[in-house]
Structure formats: structure tokens, C-alpha cells
Amino acid sequence: MGNLHYRMPTTFGPFPGPRQSFDGRARDGSGIRNVEAFITFKTKQSDLVSLLPPAFSFQKPGPEAYVSITAKRLDNLEWLAGRGYNLLSVYIHGVQYMTEGDGRAYRGTYLPVLWEDMADPIISGREELGFPKLYADLNISQTESLHAEENQDGMGSRRLAPPEAGVDEGILLWRYMPSTGRPGQADVEYPVFVSHAEEAKKQQARVIKRLVAGEGEGEFKWYPLDWQALPTLHHIVARLERIQTLNLVACGLVEKVGGGDLSSARRVGSEQSSL
């Protein structure tokens, strides 16, 4: 099958998506429009420990940790013929994975869950990269209670937490594929790392606008509802709602043009045994 991306159903040939065209050509991300609103808050590490996968830990063990929630709109995507979609992501900062043997550390921001409102990016992101994507009907709107921030840099909104949260070299994921006919067991499960530096080499996003909220502004709230209202997602939203907010650290919006395709995502460490 070569280096082309295949997904079910494979009998029809390679599957076009964010990282390849019908003929295997790499996608052009230079025209992507990216508008991302973010809110970062301090919480207790004890509220987050159970969300970390095996062998994941905080870089700086202690009483506090940082979490960011982002709402993003992607537009003008070549692989969707100019269309776009919305995302809602949860990030836990200052996390690391240490490989066995050589003890190499992968340090960055752990992504436990994100929602998108289109099936195509969900399927490709879960199967090809290992992103923990779920579907939701997302409605994102923008307010005007923000002001421009000076000293912009080319990093965009990559660093959402303050430096004391830890080193941020990339995104940490935990890929899990269940075994057919064997409930509770996995065909494969292993950590994945998406390097910020590698993504920037391929297609550096250019910041068009960065806005921040005024002091004391910004808020968010989870509504876990009940299992009748959220029959397949209640356990996730209810768990997120239990994360305490000690204080807000940052809140704002970043608009960028261009972006990578996340193809720098790499499996790290050794394959884990079935559960």
C-alpha cells in the first residue's frame, strides 16, 4: 500500500483527506483560516490525575495545574473544497511521557478530548493520528468585549498557559483501538506526540489578529445535564464539570492564516498490552 493513507473501506483505494489528495499529493494549508477563542484557568492537579493515561505524569508534581478550553473555527480547507468546521478542545498543560529504556521525555500539553461538528475530520483524525475526537453540534459566536494585544509573535496561540505550567514541545495523545469481539481489550494502545517544531517547519501559521479579554472578564460553564439528554457523552461532560476553577489565567481570541496538517504525529514508546 506504500505511504498512502488507507481507511475503511480499503477496497476502494487510498482515502483522500487532510493529509493527501486522491492521487497522494500533500495538501496545501497556506489558505486555511483559523479563528480560535481560548480560556485558561488554574485548577488542582488532584482533579486531573485520573484523566492522564498510563505512564503520563505532570512535569511539576504539586498542588496546581493549568487547563485550557478552546473553541475554533477552521475555514477554506483545500481538502474540503473550501468548506470548514468547528472544534471544541480541552487541554491539560505541563504533562510528560517518559519512554522505557532510554528514558526520553516527551513534554507538552495533553489532549484528553475534543469535539468537532463534521464526520470527515473526526474519522480521519481518529484513525490516522489517534486524536480523541467526538461529534457535537457546535455553535460558536464572537463577542466584542476584547481588545488588541501588543507584541504579537509568529507562535499564534500555541502557548495557552503561563511558563510555570511546564515545557510545551507538542501535543500528547493516547491512541486506543478496541479489539473486535473482545470487550475491554485493545488491539493497540500507545502514546502519540505531535511536535510543534515539526508542524511549524511544514506550514507556519501567520497571526492576523490577537485579542485578549480585560481583567476579570471571561467565564465558562459545563452543563452535564443527564444521561437521557446526553446518552453517550454524559460521563465525559460530567467528569469535566468536576474540574474546579481556582482562578482564570487568560482569555482571548487569535486569528491566523495557514496551518499544518498534523502529519508530524508519531507513535512513541512501545506498544501497550491489551487490557
Domain residues of the chain, as ranges?
10-267
Instruction: Compute the average pLDDT of residues 97-102.
Output: 87
Q: How far apart are CA 37 and CA 32, in angstroms?
A: 16
Question: Is the per-residue pLDDT at 191 higher than 70?
Answer: yes
Q: Mean pLDDT highest for which of 149-153, 238-242, 246-250?
A: 238-242
Least confident of 70-84, 113-127, 131-145, 148-162: 148-162
- Backbone φ and ψ for 84, nearest 5 degrees, come out as -150, -175
Question: Is the per-residue pLDDT at 154 higher than 50?
Answer: no
Instruction: Compute the average pLDDT of residues 253-261.
Output: 93
Which residue, 1, 21, 127, is CA-closest to 77? 21
Q: Indicate the fold that domain 10-267 takes in CATH.
A: Acetoacetate decarboxylase-like (2.40.400)
- Predicted pLDDT at 203: 72
Per residue in 9-36, pLDDT (tens digit) is: 999 999 999 999 988 888 999 999 999 9
Instruction: Compute the average pLDDT of residues 33-43.
Output: 95
Per residue in 221-236, pLDDT (tens digit) is: 999 999 999 999 999 9
- Predicted pLDDT at 141: 80
Residue partners of 101: CB distance under 8 A and separation at least 6: none
The chain-wide mean pLDDT, for the chain, equals 90
Question: Is the per-residue pLDDT at 274 higher than 60?
Answer: no
